[in-house]
Amino acid sequence: MDELQRLSREDFQAAPKTGITVLLENVRSMQNVGSVFRTCDGFMIEKLILCGYTPHPPHRDINKSALGATETVNWTGITDIMNAIESLRKEDYTIYAVEQVHNSIMLDNARFNPAQKYALVFGNEAEGVQESTIAACDGCIEIPQFGSKHSFNISVATGIVLWEMVKQLNV
């Protein structure tokens, strides 16, 4: 850890964060939830909000892929995602669903302002982000894809989008 210059749990929690909040909507796989925790730790996100029936820590299947990130990442569980979105709106977040829809913004064309706070909604592994949630967002971001499959795994998609945002925000 010293050679990698990694932060201790206490130092991580006290360190400034990116101003990015991640919401998971009805993600069913505990391994995916754990992987998203780990990715959120790696990109120093502000908060992870677990919505709907997304499983919460503590659970060994989440911990297995989170590798301790459930202890570093600020997280909360909220049953109704609309309550979470309403709360983030009051805090002046720009909220994007990460989904393939008409009029989505391709990730490579998206521009993020370092002065703005952002929230990203990632949906269920099979169904994606619910239409009502999409309607409550400021827009949708889509990851360009070139193969035969029509989607990325939720934890992979989280990493791709967060990397691009953090890169642009010069975190």
pLDDT tens, 134-169? 999 999 999 999 999 888 999 999 999 999 999 999
Average pLDDT, the chain: 94
Question: What is d(CA 98, CA 120) in angstroms, rounded to the nearest whole number?
Answer: 7
pLDDT tens, 137-146? 999 999 999 9
pLDDT confidence of residue 170: 83
Tell me which residue of 14, 61, 12, 59 sits closest to 40, measured CA to CA: 12
pLDDT tens, 8-61? 888 888 888 899 999 999 999 999 999 999 999 999 999 999 999 999 999 999
pLDDT tens, 62-98? 999 999 999 999 999 999 999 999 999 999 999 999 9
pLDDT confidence of residue 104: 97
Which CATH superfamily does the domain covering 9-169 fall into?
Answer: SPOUT methyltransferase, trefoil knot domain (3.40.1280.10)
State yes or no: pLDDT of 5 exceeds 90: no
State yes or no: pLDDT of 117 exceeds 90: yes
Q: How far lies 28's CA from each of 6, 32, 63, 125, 147, in Å?
A: 30, 8, 15, 7, 25
State yes or no: pLDDT of 1 exceeds 60: no
pLDDT confidence of residue 2: 61
pLDDT tens, 102-113? 999 999 999 999
Question: Which residue stretches of the chain are H helix?
Answer: 9-14, 30-42, 60-66, 81-90, 131-136, 154-169
Sequence spans of domains, the chain:
9-169
State yes or no: pLDDT of 118 exceeds 60: yes
Question: What is d(CA 139, CA 141) in angstroms, rounded to the nearest whole number?
Answer: 7
The DSSP call for residue 138 is S
Map residue 99 onto helix, strand or coil.
Answer: coil
Q: Which backbone phi and psi does 38 adopt, to 5 degrees?
A: -65, -40
State yes or no: pLDDT of 114 exceeds 80: yes
pLDDT confidence of residue 82: 98
pLDDT confidence of residue 124: 97
Q: Where are the beta strands (DSSP E) in 65-159?
A: 75-78, 93-98, 105-106, 117-122, 139-142
